Structures are given as C-alpha cells and as structure tokens.
A and B are shown apart, each in its own frame.
Chain A
Amino acid sequence: MAHETEPIISAFADDPEMADLVELFTEELPKRIESIESAFESQSWDSLRTIAHQLKGAAPSYGFDSIGQAAGTVEHRVKDGPDAESLRGDVEALLSLCRRAAAGSGGNC
C-alpha cells in the first residue's frame, strides 16, 4: 500500500501558534523512534510502556491522531503481558507512523 510510506503532516500544520511546537515534536521523533526500537529489542517492557504512554497522550495534541492510537495499542499490549512476538506488529506499525511524521516535518521546512 503506497500511502503507508507517504509523509504524515500534522493536523495543526497551519496553526501559527502550534507551528514551532509541531516542528519540535517532529524533530524529536527520530530520538523517540530509536528509544522505542531499543526498548523493544532489549525487551525493556517498562520503558517501552512509558514511551508509548507518553506518545499516546501527546501525539494527538500535536495533530498526529494515528500515532496516538498506535501508541495506545502498544501500551495496552505491554500492560496485558508483554510478549515480543505478538508485540512486533504493533510496534512496527507505531514506528512506521512515527517515521512518516518525521519525514513530513522535513518536507515542511
């Protein structure tokens, strides 16, 4: 599916009050992507849950609803009893959305 690699633009991209904040958020996304990857690889479930939890709360407020939902799914799954194999798909989905949002910021500059 082609659209799954397209950059995602914040719903608040045109809000002058938010522009700087959205930029800061997307600039920091690569760092979050890294920390999600490393938490998942090292099976540090507590930190994965924390990162997912924060993204779930924050992303929608920066205009990235889909990231918020995906992060919520990951958080939920980790809470239910983490298992690397069943989590992989959800973590990949979240990472993919984050990468697309990070790419969207580059295109905006």
Chain B
Amino acid sequence: MNPSAHETNEEPIVLLIDDSIDVHRLLAARLRNEPLVLMSAESGAEGLRLARELIPATVLLDLDMPEVDGFEVLRGLKDDPATADIPVVVLSGLTASQDKVTAFDLGAIDYITKPFDITELRVRVRSALRMHNLVQMLAQRAQIDGLSGLWNRAYFDHRWEEETAAVARHGRPLTIALIDLDHFKSINDTYGHPAGDTVIQGLAAIVGEETRASDICCRYGGEEFAIIMPDTAPTDGVMLCERIRQSLKAKQWARHPNRQVTGSFGVVGVSEGGNVNISKEEWLEKVDQNLYKAKKNGRDRVEVTDLSGAPVRLADTG
C-alpha cells in the first residue's frame, strides 16, 4: 500500500454515547441527512467498548450518565492510544459550566448544549469531523517520506512488528524485500544530488506501480527501500522483485540517458503454514545478508531465502 492509496470514501462513523433513548432518536432524526453513519451506545461502558471496536471519527458524549459517566468515558478514551485522537464532543446541560471546563481539561474539543439547537448541532458535528480529517492527515504525513512519497522508516518499524506478530499467531505467509540502488553514490557524485533524488523518486514510482494494494512500500534508508508483502510466499515475492528489477534496469533517465540504474534485492519470507522460529530482528538480518549476497554476486539481482524450507532453529533437546 502506498500512502496515496490510503484515502477512503466511506462515510465517517459518529458514535453517540447517551443513556437516554430519546436523545438517540432525536439525533438520528437531526443528523439523518448528514454524510455520516450514526452508531449508538446507551451506557458509558458500552460506549467505551464500541469506541475501541469501531474507532469512530467523532464521539458525541453525554456527561451525566449513571455508573460509568461521561468523564470516566472521556478519560478511558484519552488513556487508550487507539482512541486518544478521536474528537469528543460533549453533550451537556445549559447550566453545567464547571462540567464543560472539566470536559475540556480531559480532552473534549467542543460541547453541544441540551436542548439541542439543530443548526448548531449539525455545524458542530461537521466541525468535529473536519478536525478528525486533519488529525488523520497529520498522523499520516508524519509517516510519509517526503522525497519518495512512500511510507517512512518509523511506519515500516511499526508495520513490520505487526506483520511478523500476525505470522507468529496465524501461520500466514509473509515476505519482505530490501532493495538497495547499485552504485548510488557514484550517481550522486557524477550527476549531482538532484539526479540522485530523481533516481530515488524513479524507483519509488516503479515500486508503486509493481506492488499491490496490500504491499507496504517504504523508504528504509538513504538509497534503501523495503517492501513488506503480507500473505505472500517468497516465490511470489521474488517474482514481484524481478519485475521491479527489470523495470528499473530498463528505465531511461533524462539526466543521464547513457547511464543505467540497477538495484540489488534481498528477499526472505515464509510460505503458508511455515513455522518461523526467529525474531523480527533476526529476520531482517537475514534480509540484509541476502542483500549483501546479491551485491557480492554482481548486483542487479535478487537473492531469496524461504524460511519455511530452511532448517529452523532446533529446540534445546541436546
């Protein structure tokens, strides 16, 4: 997946947490024509549970609820990294000014007073949803590499941990490739850094074209790229890398038409049901070793290891 392929056109989910069925009916009617999906929780506890499950774009939260009240829900939402960034709009009585102050202190971004003024209700919900979009955009920007437009190293680290954990749990295939541009320093030295930047962008474009929506394409370091391929066996990962290798080699560069650019590829993966007995760090080391092997064997080539076929580390049976 490229960051640019990350957009979604689905209507945002707004979660209403209020103990009064009347308020649910009312807001459902008042927000019927808004481009959003309204979900309901009728207690604080249910609200917290649903918020964690749905990760809504906005939470509308009644403060005055029995048992788990709105303040407690707000604390719960803000304490959990998964829900901390969801804009929370508090529904409060007209007179409860101290409540509003407390709610803002706890991280609410806005409040709507009961009884609801419909115009105000709608614009405040829209404004909360806009806030959500901005927060999402910022969070995403912080994970994108500026030069290549691919995911950055921080995002790679995060996803690599997730994907290796998923393999350990579910025995699904997973393959990773590291790509290193051959003689990149000499391109920079000979044609200047802008030419080098263009090569980085050129490879990023090829990677974007050749990979699938499920692949996670990252700029790993200076002239190094990483592709995490979930649900992909090493044999398929190699085919994908071969396509990238050939496209890169065939590409014409306006700044240096007579100078081809090639890349070396280290690939390590596990097939369906394969038993992986190494840590995510050891896995990456093996990829690095394959990359080194590709360099040593003449560059412009792909070196692969299938962990499921390779002898896995034996248990200490003596």
Contacts and interface: CB of A to CB of B under 8 A. Distances in A.
A68 B62 CA distance: 16
Contacts of A60: 114-115
A93 B62 CA distance: 26
Contacts of A65: 115
* Interface residue tally on A, bucketed by range: 10 to 19
B66 A53 contact: yes
Interface residues of B, number: 18
A29 to B, nearest CB: 11
Interface stretch (A16-24, A35-43, A81-89, A95-103): A16-24
Interface in A51-103: 53-54, 56-63, 65, 68
Interface of A is mostly: helix
Contacts of B62: 57
Interface of B: 18-23, 25-26, 29-30, 62, 64, 66, 93, 114-116, 118
Contacts of A18: 29
26 contacts: A17-B118, A20-B29, A21-B25, A21-B26, A21-B29, A24-B25, A50-B66, A53-B19, A53-B20, A53-B66, A54-B19, A54-B20, A57-B18, A57-B23, A57-B62, A57-B93, A57-B114, A58-B22, A59-B22, A60-B115, A61-B22, A61-B115, A61-B116, A62-B26, A63-B115, A65-B115
A12 to B, nearest CB: 9
Contact of A68 (B21, B30, B115): B115
Given A53-B64, A54-B19, A54-B22, A61 B114 contact: yes
Nearest to A54: B20
